[in-house]
Structure 1
Amino acid sequence: MFKKFRANLATAFQLLTRLPTSWLAAKPAYPSNNAGGAALWPLVGGILGIMPWATITVSGWMGFSSSLCVIIGLVTMVFLSGGLHEDGLADTMDGFGGGKNKEETLRIMHDSRIGSYGCIALILVFLARYVSLGQLMVNHTLLPALIMAGALSRLSMLWLFYTLPLAQDKGVAYGIGKPHSRALKRGVFFTALMGISVLSFSHFIIASLIGGLFTQYMKNLAVRKVGGISGDILGCACILVETGLLVLFSKIISPSSSLLTTPITPFFWT
Structure 2
Amino acid sequence: MSFLRQSCRHYLLSLQFFTRIPVTGRLAGWVGYSPAMLRASAGHFPGVGWLVGALVAGFAALLLAWLPAGGYSPLVVSVLSTAFGVLLTGAFHEDGLADVFDGLGGSPERERALIIMKDSRVGAFGAMALMLVLLAKVSLLALLGSVSPVLLCTALFLAHVVSRTWPLLLIRLMPHVGDAAGSKSKPLADQISGASLFTAFIWCFMALALVVYAQVAIDLIAIDMPELALLQALGTALALSAAAWALMGRWFWRRLQGFTGDCLGATQQVCELAFYLGLAVSL
After TM superposition, the score normalised by the length of structure 2 is 0.83
Quote the Cα distance in structure 2 between the aligned partners of 1:212 and 1:28.
33
Comparing 141-150 with 231-240, which one deviates more in the overlay?
141-150
Alignment map for 1:21-60 (pairs within 5 Å): 21=23, 27-32=30-35, 33-60=37-64
Counterpart AA for 1:30 = Y
Structure 1 position 177, deviation (Å)? 4.3
Quote the Cα distance in structure 1 between the aligned partners of 2:52 and 2:251.
28
| 1:194 equivalenced with 2:202 (yes/no) | no
Structure 1 position 239, deviation (Å)? 0.3
Quote the Cα distance in structure 2 between the aligned partners of 1:250 and 1:77.
20
Q: Pick from 109, 112, 120: which aligns with 1:112?
A: 120
- Structure 1: where are the runs of 5+ without partners? 254-270
Partner deviation per Cα, 1:189-225 (whole Å, 9 max, x = no partner): 2211211221444433333222211111111111111
| 1:174 equivalenced with 2:177 (yes/no) | no
Quote the Cα distance in structure 2 between the aligned partners of 1:249 and 1:202.
9
| 1:11 equivalenced with 2:24 (yes/no) | no
Contact 2:46-2:165 within 8 A present in 1 as well = yes
- Equivalent pairs, count: 253
Quote the Cα distance in structure 1 between the aligned partners of 2:241 and 2:67.
35
> Which residue of the partner structure matches residue 161 of structure 1?
171
> Which residue of the partner structure matches residue 145 of structure 1?
155
Quote the Cα distance in structure 2 between the aligned partners of 1:211 and 1:167.
24
Contact 1:43-1:190 within 8 A present in 2 as well = yes
> Which residue of the partner structure matches residue 183 of structure 1?
196
Quote the Cα distance in structure 2 between the aligned partners of 1:62 and 1:5.
38
Counterpart AA for 1:154 = R
Structure 1 position 159, deviation (Å)? 0.9
> Which residue of the partner structure matches residue 126 of structure 1?
134
Partner deviation per Cα, 1:43-85 (whole Å, 9 max, x = no partner): 2113211222222222233337624322211110100110010
Counterpart AA for 1:183 = S
Alignment map for 1:25-104 (pairs within 5 Å): 27-32=30-35, 33-63=37-67, 66=73, 67-104=75-112
Contact 1:34-1:177 within 8 A present in 2 as well = no
Partner deviation per Cα, 1:1-56 (whole Å, 9 max, x = no partner): 21111101101111111101369957335334101111111121132112222222
The CA RMSD over aligned residues, in Å, is 2.1
Contact 1:10-1:24 within 8 A present in 2 as well = no
Structure 1 position 145, deviation (Å)? 1.0
Q: Structure 1's 201 and 189: CA in aligned 2 closer, same or farther, altered over 3 A?
A: farther
Counterpart AA for 2:173 = T
Quote the Cα distance in structure 1 between the aligned partners of 2:170 and 2:32.
22
Contact 1:160-1:229 within 8 A present in 2 as well = yes
Contact 2:96-2:266 within 8 A present in 1 as well = yes
> Which residue of the partner structure matches residue 260 of structure 2?
230
Q: Structure 1's 24 and 213: CA in aligned 2 closer, same or farther, altered over 3 A?
A: farther
Contact 1:42-1:150 within 8 A present in 2 as well = yes
Structure 1 position 146, deviation (Å)? 1.4
Identical amino acids, percent of aligned pairs = 25
